[in-house]
Amino acid sequence: MKTEQNEFMQHELRLPELTVRGMLLGALLTVIFTASNVYLGLKVGLTFSSAIPAAVISMAVLKMAKDSNILENNMVQTQASAAGTLSAIIFIIPGMLMIGYWQGFQFWQTLLVSACGGCLGVLFTIPLRRAMVVHSDLAYPEGVAAAEILKVGSSSQEEKEQAGGSGLKEIFSGGIIAGLVALCSSGFHVLGSGLSLWFHVGRGMTQFPIGYSSALVGAGYLIGIASGLSMLVGILIAWAGFVPFFTITGTVPDGMALQKFAGVVYQDKVRLIGAGAMGVAAIWTLITLACPVIDGVKESLAAVRMPDADKGKHRMDIDMSVKSVGLVFAVTTLGLLGVFYAFVSPEGLPMAQNLTFVIVGVGVAVLMGFFVAAACAYMAGLVGTSSSPISGIGILGIIVASLVMYALCSAFGIFSLPGGEKFATATAIFTTSIIMAIACISNDNMQDLKTGYLVGATPWRQQVALLLGCLVGALVIAPVLNLLYEAYGFPGALPRPDMDPSQALAAPQAALMTTIAQGIFSSNLAWEYIYIGLGLGVVLVIIDQLLKRNTKSLCMPPLAVGMGIYLPPSVQTPLVIGAVMGYFINKGIKSSKGEKALAAAKRRGTLFASGLIVGESIIGVLMAAIIVISLSSGGSDDPLGLVGKDFADTAEWLGLAVFLIVLGIFTRIVKGGKEA
């Protein structure tokens, strides 16, 4: 097999690599994984790396063609993973609806921001490839894993069996199981989505919730035990600490039930504490990465200045040409200037002010985007795409953009105009959305280039595939966002007045960044709770550093603790369950069967978890489409419901039973196979 892989790395290689059929398959997978990530990101604030499932599906489909090969499969996963990652722009863009500036997602503006920002993310990481992929010992966990799966796919049947099979069975079985459970819960309502037990703590109140989401169990398995237990710490800080304290010391408004008061306390006070803790944790992560990022940029710039004669001319060392990069950069920059003008011009400001907002906004986004591209490239290599603190980039972006727009709006007297503050907030959010698009793609791009480097891909072809992925993904994001908004709504942005706010998609990062922007432009933010969160964040950072220095394996990622405080508990409990379950299963396999069996088990678990996420997410998007169609034709917002509200208690316990069965199946899948 080693000889076969070396053949793919020859300079004279002439094999189908960037093919029409591969691009079409990549586009189809792009649509599926982008929609899945948009749904999951809005629901829980997490996205998953689609590189591994895309690679497995590509191998299964293209093996029907006799001339398919590892390089063509790599291009498909490159394209699909880029677009799936681009969906992380949802961490900021829903803020437009939360502040009431948009009444629905503007298709062309959302598309151009996503496409142009994503393409810039690809371009900005091209000069980083040699320093951070070829001449670096960074781990790139998803990139290495995807490369290993591609190598298994190109190997003999015997070698596939030794690696635990092709993996397609795990992905599809997870998708079907999670899809059926989601349909029965969110569609038919015969299964509950969670169980919440409220109880008194002195004169106060708190709750113990369990969410039944199969997708979140899969996500918990992927994030690992450290992040899972850190989220559990965050839940306990919020619901065993702050909520009981504030309900005991606070005054319940007349006529309000204590249970509802606890919910209000959590929403208005405790979540702000979590936001402060997340902000400190995210910024600390970026600070710790500053020196390595600067060193990487210096090495890359030095490589760019080398004369052509000194550069390797091997096929695997050829990036997009300077002329091509310049052309794409010019087109994307013009696109951003155009979309920014279309965004600010309806306000009717003088032309000089409009142009100033456009030039400054795009300038800030592009300049900061180049910095975050380097930061995200390094973070991806260090901790992986799924674990990178992209929210930290967003927090820095919204702070910088808000301060710049505050200065501009003050100079132009915008705040004295009707709706001036809302316009300033929206402009800061719009600027940050461009920065986020750049950050997301640069974060994923380096993983894909690492995969390509390990399997013998041609870099410039991968970079073209990444650009195509950005364009296709951008086409999908706006329609899916609109579907989900019309069906579920966001906190503070419900499309219909009779909707249940508790059923809205949390969109936690967008809500957090919108809150920060509004706090900069007004004095309405309850800063005292933010300050408590900032202090708590500092304490969490110190604890994490002490654990890392004084123990071999213990750590407590402060960003995960902050998310544990900030996110609704019913969303987090399945994450914690998935992380803890995966830890004990894998530990048992390692102790009884050894490292080889553990590697096979982790692979099965990763693929099955990815299938759970995709299955539930696709049903969530399809359900949104059905609800919107029903409402537009005069129907109800529960078109598939089979039972009434009086069945809710029974559905809760049925949901718990099915949830336990899913956990049992997950355990069996991970343990299954000859190696386990």
Residue bearing the bigger pLDDT, 135 or 463: 463
pLDDT of residue 523: 67
Residue bearing the bigger pLDDT, 575 or 523: 575
Closest CA to 441 of 468, 459, 401, 461: 468
Q: Helices in 63-106 by DSSP H: which ranges?
A: 70-86, 95-98
Instruction: State the angle between helix axes of 508-521 and 420-455 in degrees (0 to 180), rounded to the nearest 10.
Output: 140
**Adjacent-strand bridge partners of 352:** none
Say if CB 234 and CB 563 are below 8 A apart: yes
Give the 3-state secondary structure of 330-391: HHHHHHHHHHHHHHHHHHCCCHHHHHHHHHHHHHHHHHHHHHHHHHHHHHHHHHCCCCCCHH
CA distance 136 to 124: 18
CA distance 416 to 505: 34
pLDDT of residue 10: 54
Buried/exposed code over 164-187 (b: 16+ C-beta within 10 A; e: otherwise):
bbbbbbbbbbbbebbbbbbbbbbb
Residue bearing the bigger pLDDT, 623 or 544: 544
pLDDT digits (tens, 9 = 90+) for 173-223: 988 999 899 899 988 989 988 888 898 988 889 998 888 989 889 878 877
pLDDT digits (tens, 9 = 90+) for 9-31: 554 556 667 788 888 888 888 77
Say if CB 44 and CB 219 are below 8 A apart: yes
pLDDT of residue 381: 67
pLDDT of residue 446: 79
pLDDT of residue 304: 56
Q: Where are the domains of the chain?
A: 2-168+323-501
Buried/exposed code over 231-249 (b: 16+ C-beta within 10 A; e: otherwise):
bbbbbebbbeebbbbbbee
Residue bearing the bigger pLDDT, 574 or 626: 574
Lowest mean pLDDT among 143-157, 489-503, 563-577, 604-618: 143-157
Residue 5 has pLDDT above 50, yes or no: no
Residue 668 has pLDDT above 90, yes or no: yes
Residue 155 has pLDDT above 80, yes or no: no
CA distance 148 to 170: 17
- The HSE-up count of residue 452 (CA atoms within 13 Å, CB side) is 34
User: Which pair of structure tokens corresponds to residue 110?
Assistant: 């959302």
Q: What is the average per-residue pLDDT within 590-597?
A: 88
Region of residue 255 (left: phi > 0; alpha: psi -120 to 50; beta: else)? left
Q: What is the average per-residue pLDDT within 266-276?
A: 85
CA distance 611 to 215: 8
Torsion of CA 664, 667, 668, 670, to 10 degrees: 160
Reported as type and span, the H/E element at residue 601 is helix 595-632
Q: Which amino acid is at 396?
A: L
517 C-beta neighbours (distance < 10 Å), count: 27
Distances (CA, A) of 36 to 105, 421, 563: 18, 34, 21
Q: Phi first, then psi: what are they for 198, rounded to 5°?
A: -95, 140
Q: How many residues belong to the chain?
A: 676
Q: What percent of the chain has pLDDT over 70?
A: 83
Residues 6+ apart with CB under 8 A from 133: 140, 381, 446, 449, 450, 453
Closest CA to 579 of 562, 596, 564: 564
> Which pTM was predicted?
0.71
Q: Which amino acid is at 405?
A: M
CA distance 501 to 514: 18
pLDDT of residue 380: 67
Q: What is the average per-residue pLDDT within 456-479?
A: 83
**Adjacent-strand bridge partners of 206:** 199
pLDDT digits (tens, 9 = 90+) for 296-323: 566 656 655 555 544 555 566 677 778 8
pLDDT digits (tens, 9 = 90+) for 526-551: 778 889 999 999 999 999 999 989 88
Residue bearing the bigger pLDDT, 475 or 427: 427
Q: Which amino acid is at 623?
A: M
Say if CB 90 and CB 38 are below 8 A apart: yes
Q: What is the secondary structure of 450-495 as a DSSP string?
A: HHHHHHT--HHHHHHHHHHHHHHHHHHHHHHHHHHHHHH-BTTB-S
Residues 6+ apart with CB under 8 A from 249: none
Residue 483 has pLDDT above 50, yes or no: yes
pLDDT of residue 1: 40
Residue 525 has pLDDT above 80, yes or no: no
Q: What is the secondary structure of 260-305 as a DSSP string?
A: HHHHHHIIIIIHHHHHHHHHHHHHHHHHHTHHHHHHHHHHHHHHHT
Distances (CA, A) of 287 to 227, 374, 386: 20, 13, 19
Q: What is the average per-residue pLDDT within 33-59?
A: 73
Residue 675 has pLDDT above 50, yes or no: no
Residue 403 has pLDDT above 80, yes or no: yes
pLDDT digits (tens, 9 = 90+) for 73-130: 878 887 777 766 677 778 888 888 888 888 888 889 988 998 998 899 888 888 777 7
pLDDT of residue 72: 82
Average pLDDT over all residues of the chain? 81
Lowest mean pLDDT among 40-44, 343-347, 428-432, 608-612: 40-44
Q: Helices in 384-419 by DSSP H: which ranges?
A: 390-412
Q: What is the average per-residue pLDDT within 395-406?
A: 86
Long-range CB contacts (< 8 A, 24+ apart) of 130-135?
Answer: 130/299, 130/300, 130/303, 130/317, 131/296, 131/297, 131/299, 131/300, 131/303, 132/296, 132/300, 132/377, 132/378, 132/381, 132/446, 133/381, 133/446, 133/449, 133/450, 133/453, 134/317, 134/453, 135/299
Distances (CA, A) of 367 to 87, 310, 320: 22, 30, 21
394: three-class secondary structure by DSSP: helix
Q: What is the average per-residue pLDDT within 485-497?
A: 82
pLDDT of residue 2: 42
pLDDT of residue 184: 93
pLDDT of residue 4: 43
Look-up: residue for tokens 């966002």?
481
User: At 295, is the pLDDT very low, low, confident or very high (cuts 50, 70, 90)?
Assistant: low
pLDDT digits (tens, 9 = 90+) for 49-88: 677 777 778 877 887 777 777 888 878 887 777 766 677 7
State the maximum Cα–Cα separation within the chain, in Å, rounded to a whole number: 80
Q: What percent of the chain has pLDDT over 90?
A: 21
